[in-house]
Chain A
Amino acid sequence: MSTTAMPKSWNINTKPHKFCPGCGHGHILRALGEAIDDMDIQDRTVFGCDIGCSLLAWDFFNIDSIQTHHGRTTPVMVGIVRANPSLIGIAYMGDGGGYAIGAQHLVNSANRNDKILVVLVNNTNYGMTGGQMAPTTLPGQVTETTPYGRDALETGTPTQGPELVAAITGENAYVARGTVSNLRQLKKYFKKALENVQEGNGFSFVEVLATCPTNWRTNAKDTWKFLEENMASYFKVGEYKVPPTKREG
């Protein structure tokens, strides 16, 4: 992984990007951009972003892009690739978009084995709207709508997305959870996921654990600690489903 140059698939004219300092989105989009570069699929890829912080990526790439509605990026990308199967559709969304308002789309697209990649950024809160509880908020975590901490008895436990998706997809799906604390691994996941789509093999889903210091109200040290200790202990990083053709060894 290069350390300084921007990925070729990034649009240099729209940088610096619009995300907050310390936000995980930039790192994720870098790993995604590098995976796209390595595969040389810039001309065939269509990028869709959701509402929430993910919409700030609407002019991020040198890739045809569309910003949709909250939770609705999955069906838009499904519609595109069903009409033109030669395109590689990426639906980019947050945890609210994928696990709450758009959950039925994620579940059914996974179940239909649509040939798209869904990238879901899990930062345990609704960032754009000011830090409310998300389906992924950890037990006890303080947010604007759980000011005394999330009470699991009242509001449930964090959604285990890749586990859910892996359980309902077919054999040929690729499902993984990466983290911004391991970008080399994340890029590898993205490449496998994109290859799976490109080969017309199956649905691909990558959840990424990401930082949100603005809404977590954490300094650099505590931000890293929350990601690496609190989140990582609840959300296990790794591959949850690998199609037979992509299995190593």
Chain B
Amino acid sequence: MEKPIQEEKRVFMTGNEVVAWGALAAQADIMYGYPITPQNEIMHYWTRLAPKYGKSFLQTEDELSAGFATIGGVLAGKRSFSATAGPGNTLFQEPISMAEMMRIPMVVAIQQRGGPSTATVIYSQQEVNMTTYGGNGEGLRIVYSTATHQELFDYMIKAFNNAWKYRFPAFILGDGYQAKMREPLIMYNPEEKGIEMVKPDVSLGKEGVPGKDRDPVYLRNAYSMEEELFEVLMPMIEEYNKVSPEIEEHFSLSCEDADLIIVSHGIVSRAAMAAEEELRKEGIKVGLFRPITLRPFPEGAIREICKSTPNILIVESANGQLARLVKEALFGLPINMQAIFKPGVGITSEEIIKFIKSKKTEEIIAK
């Protein structure tokens, strides 16, 4: 069967289309989905592309089913994924907690919409808490917050690879703007770029007769005793902490001589980058820090930067969900923190520039 992407190809498309192509490039086998705006077109493109490349799709009855069926696909040894948003992400927390507990490498693309509740179908960064630490658990997850269509493509591939390599559920955290807008990117076949695709393995339905040729596989998430759970959970937490430095990613710009660091993630970091450029032209020394992985959070990197520049401005389309992660990472350091929180609303570079200029120097830059 023909490969979906033969060679590097420059394209211009919506983010949802990119996610579908990214999944194809990552050699995903099956998608389980349920309609919710603004991620619908991921399914629309996948259902059109899938039969051409021997891939499968199932539309489930809700997001609980989509999540648990995705887990089933993984257990059968297939690269399986889903996509959701907002209230759908809320329902997804139940299967995700099972994936955390049972080390199931499910991949889910999340296109954030306004919250709480039904709110808007448009845009937000309000699913940070839920995607990093939702469910009844310890947040043993990999969460990539993308900022461009190129990243949507790149990190779909990386999400599958790191999910299967480390066996933690992995997420692409986009948003409605990224989902719906068009921009150029380069698509490629990862193997031709020297990216080795991590091979999925079968958990249930292995070769041979269980009890005769091999032991049966018993997978469970329920334990009888506190100590029994502790013995299962602690090695997982230790392993997560151990591999975190390998997974953590961030982007920083002009932090070395900066008086103020703008901290933002996802698409807002593009407004922050434009603001940085403008302010620098005017001689205002601003730097940028952008966590790419929100879980595990690049704690070491941001602490290092904030040791020399303790002034930060957190900018996000939520009421402090990124700020919570940042504050935890910077615990113990003397930090002067300012914030622009616009829950469920987009943020422009002009707003950031205006905010910084409206402050007295001593307010924003503590020495």
Contact = CB atoms under 8 A, between A and B. Distances in A.
Interface size class, chain B: 35 or more
A43 B72 CA distance: 18
Contact of A62 (B56, B71, B216): B216
Contact of A72 (B29, B64, B205): B64
A79 B222 contact: no
B209 to A, nearest CB: 4
A75 interface: yes
A104 to B, nearest CB: 5
A76 interface: yes
Nearest to B220: A67
A79 B76 contact: yes
A62 B211 CA distance: 5
A67 B222 contact: yes
B167 to A, nearest CB: 15
A186 to B, nearest CB: 23
A148 B164 CA distance: 53
Contacts of A105: 61, 64-65
A210 interface: no
Interface residues of A, number: 37
B11 interface: no
Contacts of A100: none
Contact of B72 (A61, A80, A86): A80
Interface of B: 29-30, 32, 56, 58, 60-62, 64-73, 75-78, 80, 94-95, 98, 203-206, 208-212, 216-222
A69 B64 CA distance: 11
B43 to A, nearest CB: 15
A61 B216 contact: yes
Chain A interface mostly: mixed
Given A44-B205, A83-B80, A75 B216 contact: no
Given A65-B218, A82-B30, A42 B95 contact: no
Given A42-B209, A42-B211, A62-B210, A67 B219 contact: yes
A76 B75 contact: yes
A80 B76 contact: yes
B211 A80 contact: no
Given A42-B210, A80-B75, A65 B217 contact: yes
A66 B75 contact: yes
Nearest to B213: A43
A185 interface: no
Contact of A59 (B76, B98, B218): B218
User: Which among B56, B60, B212 has the highest number of chain A CB atoms within 10 Å?
Assistant: B60
A183 interface: no
A82 B75 CA distance: 11
Most buried by A among B73, B95, B218: B218
Nearest to A71: B64
